[in-house]
Amino acid sequence: MKLMLVENKLHLLPEIQKHLIEYQPDEQDRVPLEHVTQNIHTIDRFLNDPHFGVKVLNYTKLENIPLYSTLKQCKTILDQRGESIPFPLLTTLIGRYFSIITEVVSLDIHYLNNSVELVFTPNRPDIVSHHQIEGVAVGIYRIIQSLSHAKLVSVDFSHGGVDTFNYKDIFGLRPEFSKDEHRMIYATSENLDGLDTHSLYTVNTMQRLLDTQFPNLDDVDRCKHIIKSILSFGEPTREHVSEILNISVSTLQRRLRAHQTNFKDILLETRKDTAHDLLLNQNRNPSELAFLLGYKSSSQFFKAFKTWFSCTPLEYKKNNTRKKSEHKAR
Question: With contact defined as beta carbons under 8 Å apart, do 312 and 286 qualify?
Answer: yes
| Mean pLDDT lowest among 25-29, 205-209, 263-267 | 25-29
| Mean pLDDT lowest among 43-47, 207-211, 276-280 | 207-211
Condensed to tens digits (0 to 9), the pLDDT of residues 214-257 reads: 788 899 999 998 898 888 777 899 999 999 888 999 999 999 99
Question: With contact defined as beta carbons under 8 Å apart, do 225 and 244 qualify?
Answer: no
- State which fold the 2-187 domain adopts: H-NOX domain (3.90.1520)
What is the rounded distance in angstroms from the CA atom of residue 92 to the CA atom of residue 109?
Answer: 7
Q: pLDDT band for position 180 (50/70/90)?
A: very high
What is the rounded distance in angstroms from the CA atom of residue 65 to the CA atom of residue 290?
Answer: 34
Q: Where are the CATH 3.90.1520 domain residues in the chain?
A: 2-187
| Residue scoring higher pLDDT (197 or 280) | 280
Condensed to tens digits (0 to 9), the pLDDT of residues 140-163 reads: 999 999 998 899 999 999 998 877
Please report the DSSP string for 180-207 in residue order.
Answer: SSEEEEEE---------HHHHHHHHHHH
111 bridge partner residues: 116
Give the pLDDT confidence score for residue 27 in this predicted structure.
46
CA 179 and chain centroid, separation: 21
CA 152 and chain centroid, separation: 17
What mean pLDDT comes out for the span 111-118? 87
What is the rounded distance in angstroms from the CA atom of residue 294 to the CA atom of residue 289?
Answer: 8
What is the rounded distance in angstroms from the CA atom of residue 151 to the CA atom of residue 172?
Answer: 10
